[in-house]
């Protein structure tokens, strides 16, 4: 069934939900005849996905904030969102076979569904199979590398991470691998000892940066130590 979304619930029901499944956004209004034609078709097609996609409806007259965000000029207007980003859309009423084709293109393939289920399982055998099927899948690689770090497989974890582009997640796991996981928060002492060495010693500088990655941006000390590192280097 479709979900009626408002300006107040858009973040939760659409943006956040799109991290789990594709969210199809139907922008409509009571006075719009083509909207009343398209709406039941969208509901039928999306219902048939058995939860692999979600349909939300937005009354543009009652929710001007969403209407402005989408720069609505004509309705019906339908958009698909995945991971917080608009990935596709169309304007105007469409026949059922065209709506079906459009929705089908948004759904994961059987292979993608298998990889997702393997990642969700989370054990080493499942994660290795996921990486084998999709060597460039960031979620699978990061999950397996994290597990290897916990087990002490630091070199293998680093080799895995080199396969994919660097992101915040990969930097943090790589830092943990280079530091040997470093579960104990002895960071202040280590950073203070390393600071005088960072300009002349590449290894000390890398360890300093790795500790900051492990601490994370939410740690109030991280920004302070980054500033001290910059002052020491320049």
Q: Which residues are catalytic?
A: 32, 35
Cβ proximity of 5 and 14 under 8 Å: yes
Helices 138-151 and 168-178, interaxial angle, to 10°? 20
Q: Going by DSSP bridges, is the β-strand pair 77-82/3-4 parallel, antiparallel, or unpaired?
A: unpaired
3 state DSSP class of 126: helix
Measured distance CA(176)–CA(154) in Å, rounded? 8
Cβ proximity of 67 and 26 under 8 Å: no
Burial 2-22 (b: 16+ CB within 10 A, else e): beebeeeebeebbeebbeebb
Beta bridge partners of 80: 24, 88
Q: How many CB atoms lie within 10 A of CB 142?
A: 22
3 state DSSP class of 5: coil
3 state DSSP class of 149: helix
Tokens of 12: 């939760």
Pick the closest to residue 220 from 188, 194, 181 (CA basis).
188
């Amino acid at each position: 069934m479709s979900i009626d979304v408002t300006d107040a619930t858009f973040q939760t029901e659409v943006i956040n939900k799109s991290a789990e499944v594709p969210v199809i956004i139907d922008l409509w209004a009571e006075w719009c005849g083509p909207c009343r034609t398209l709406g039941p078709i969208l509901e039928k097609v999306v219902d048939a996905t058995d939860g692999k996609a979600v349909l939300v409806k937005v009354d543009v007259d009652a929710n001007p904030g969403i209407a402005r965000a989408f720069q609505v000029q004509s309705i019906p207007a339908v958009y698909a969102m995945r991971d917080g980003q608009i990935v596709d859309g169309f304007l105007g009423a469409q026949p059922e076979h065209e709506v079906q084709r459009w929705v089908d293109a948004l759904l994961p393939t059987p292979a993608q569904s298998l990889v997702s289920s393997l990642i969700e399982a989370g054990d080493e055998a499942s994660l290795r199979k996921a990486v084998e099927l999709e060597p460039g899948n960031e979620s699978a690689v990061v999950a397996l590398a994290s597990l290897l770090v916990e087990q002490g497989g630091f070199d293998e974890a680093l080799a895995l991470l080199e396969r994919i582009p660097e992101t915040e997640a990969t930097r943090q796991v790589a830092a943990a691998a280079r530091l040997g996981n470093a579960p104990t928060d002895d960071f202040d002492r280590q950073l203070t000892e390393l600071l005088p060495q960072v300009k002349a010693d590449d290894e000390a500088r890398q360890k300093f940066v790795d500790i900051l990655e492990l601490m994370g941006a939410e740690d109030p000390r991280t920004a302070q130590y980054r500033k001290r590192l910059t002052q020491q280097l320049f």
